[in-house]
Structure 1
Amino acid sequence: MEFMALPVSVKLALSFSGMYLWVGMLTGVWKYYQISRSESARAHYYVDIAHRSSLLYAPATLILAVMAYCSVWSETVNFLFIVINIFFFTFSIASYILHGWLKDTSNQFKEPHQLGQFQLPKVLMRMAMVLLVIGEIIATGGLLLGMFKALF
């Protein structure tokens, strides 16, 4: 199949897979820079997490692209499932980068929840995590089911 003929959901997932890989490489440079300038030879905790998570979300998003491509669901449903995953993957990576840049915490779940000089309400963190878990589980499960229905 010609690349231009791919469904938009698949193109979107492929594009973000590449962007996550690139962000993983950039945060790897940042991580190395911090390691090279640290007496303990370690980068900030969230710089390390941003680097690793970006590199893990890249192939995960590539897998989602394949699942969307194989899915029996309509393009609208597949697109929604891809967007939900991309939203939460990007949100996670961005929050790790922000914590790494601000050096405000080594555990974003430690109370009080810090974001720079600000303290975030406990309910905000809990809601964000509940939405992330529900969104990613349902969206990925939906793509998986759509792929299984097509394959079997």
Structure 2
Amino acid sequence: MIADAAALVPAARLALLGAGVFFLAGLLSGIWKYAHIAQRDDAQAPAYVDIAHRAALLYAFAALLLAQFAQLSAWSAAVNLWATALPLAFFAAAIGGYALHGWLDDTDNQFRRPQRVGRRTLPKHGLAAFMVLLVIAEVGGFAVLFAGLLRAFGLL
């Protein structure tokens, strides 16, 4: 990782900010998870409290990877910023969705039909559409950054 913050490109800065927010969310949701474990007879947190905790920690490290790839990418600052921002936005949306399900303790499987958030039923294909956009943003954004790295290495 680049040690001098002034040397970071905007996309890398954004990814590092995302990593910090996600890691803090992971740590705080760990406290939330433990509070449930300590209070419940079965010593279990709601499924999506656990998932939010783990996902936030994993996405924090994924954001660090995005930062490094963005820093080294041969593409323009604008391309790298979009290729970084889109996965980060979907990482955040996923963590937020998991935390909402954890808060509501409304499911142990968000894909079970009918798909619900609390007492509200989601549109029939709403989650599927979100998942398609998530895949495009996350895989596409990283693919752009990886191609930029390959180009910087003279391999593309």
User: How many residues were matched structurally?
Assistant: 152
Distance 1:79 1:60 in 2: 16
Distance 1:8 1:135 in 2: 19
Deviations 1:68-91 (A, max 9, x none): 000000000000011101110000
Q: 1:41 aligns to what?
A: 43
Q: Normalised by the size of structure 1, how large is the TM-score?
A: 0.97
Q: Given residue 129 of structure 1, which amino acid in structure 2 is its aligned partner?
A: M
Q: Given residue 15 of structure 1, which amino acid in structure 2 is its aligned partner?
A: L
Gaps of 5+ in 2: none
The structure 1 residue matched to 2:14, chosen from 12, 15, 20, is 12
Q: Given residue 14 of structure 1, which amino acid in structure 2 is its aligned partner?
A: L
The runs of at least 4 aligned residues of structure 1 exceeding 2 Å deviation read none
Q: 1:147 aligns to what?
A: 149
Q: 2:123 aligns to what?
A: 121
What secondary structure does 1:122 align onto?
coil
TM superposition shift of 1:121: 1.2
Gaps of 5+ in 1: none
What secondary structure does 2:125 align onto?
helix
Q: Normalised by the size of structure 2, how large is the TM-score?
A: 0.95
Distance 2:57 2:63 in 1: 10
TM superposition shift of 1:5: 3.4
RMSD: 0.9
TM superposition shift of 1:149: 1.3
The structure 2 residue matched to 1:134, chosen from 133, 136, 152, is 136
The structure 2 residue matched to 1:108, chosen from 107, 110, 113, is 110
Q: 1:28 aligns to what?
A: 30
Distance 1:143 1:103 in 2: 37
Distance 2:15 2:136 in 1: 19
What secondary structure does 2:144 align onto?
helix
